Amino acid sequence: MADFKLEAIKCRSCGSGLVVELNDFITYCTSCGNGFEITESGLQPIEINFATAAIRGEGELVYKPFWFLKSRIEILERESSGGFFKNLFGGGNSSSGEIKFYIPAFYCHIDSLKSLATQFTLKNPVASPQKFNTKITGFSYGREDAMKLAEFLLISFEAEKSDTMKTFRYEINFDSYEILGIPFYKSADGRLTDAILEITV
């Protein structure tokens, strides 16, 4: 029978103890504001910032993690009509552009995950994220999961258009990976409503 040893995880920057929940992919130091991705080779630094609550709500204010992925997308072939990507890329007739994906990193129902990811990605509502000394846990989805979910979202954008898509080929490159803490109000029955777009999950 193998021996198991439990070790306290400490911040690589300031030495403070880190809070890690079961199956977390990311941990955040509330003492110095540094974040770390938990990998097989140890703790790797990752940028973690927080959005400010824009809407007053009822219940406990908690922060839920989102992957904030900056990407460059090139549409290689698309056989159908419509201007969805023209709008998403900021106008013009370009077949390429930048998209900032907001992918929930915490566990929620797939419909809620898709709704949050879609609305935050389309509206890009967080103007100036900043550092807060606050708790953020529940990192159920890692970097690879976030990349797959971003591609799923991209294809969903196309599949749900009003025109008929015959061919859709694209190339996506992720330029940066960050974590963004989005404020939610937690009601007594456990439901969450974000304090930016007021989406309830």
Choose among 186, 122, 108: nearest CA to 153: 122
Query: How far apart, in Å, do the first and last CA atoms of the chain sit?
Result: 43
CA pair distance 151, 14, nearest whole angstrom: 36
Residue 13 lies in a domain: no
What order of strands is seen across the sheet that includes strand 42-46? 26-28, 35-39, 42-46
Name residue, tokens 């890009």. Answer: 124
Q: What is the pTM of this model?
A: 0.83
pLDDT per residue rounded down to tens, the chain (201 residues): 445 444 568 888 898 888 787 778 888 888 888 999 988 888 899 999 999 999 998 899 999 999 999 999 887 776 654 445 555 565 555 577 888 999 999 998 888 999 999 999 989 898 888 888 788 878 888 899 999 999 888 877 766 655 555 567 778 899 999 999 999 999 999 899 999 999 999
Residue with tokens 């900056």: 70
Within a domain: 159: yes
- The number of distinct structural domains making up the chain is 1
CB atoms within 10 A of CB 64: 22
- Whose tokens are 């940066």? That residue is 176
Enclosing H/E stretch for 83: none
Q: Judge whether 43 lies within some domain.
A: yes
* Residue 6 placed within a domain: no
Residue 36: CB atoms within 10 A of its CB come to: 21
DSSP states of 89-104? TTSSS-SEEEEEEEEE
Token pair, residue 180, equals 């963004």
In a domain, 10, yes or no: no
Give exposure, 70-97, as e/b (b: 16+ Cβ within 10 Å). ebebebeebeeeeeebeebbeeeeeeeb
Q: How far apart are CA 116 and CA 104, in angstroms?
A: 7
Residue type, 136: I
- What's 41's DSSP letter? T
In a domain, 132, yes or no: yes
Three-state DSSP state, 19: coil
Look at residue 85 and tell me if it is in a domain.
Answer: yes
Q: State which residues form the domain around 152.
A: 26-194
pLDDT score recorded for residue 31? 87
In a domain, 164, yes or no: yes
Question: pLDDT tens across 15-35, in order?
Answer: 888 878 777 888 888 888 899
What percentage of the chain has pLDDT greater than the value 70?
Answer: 82
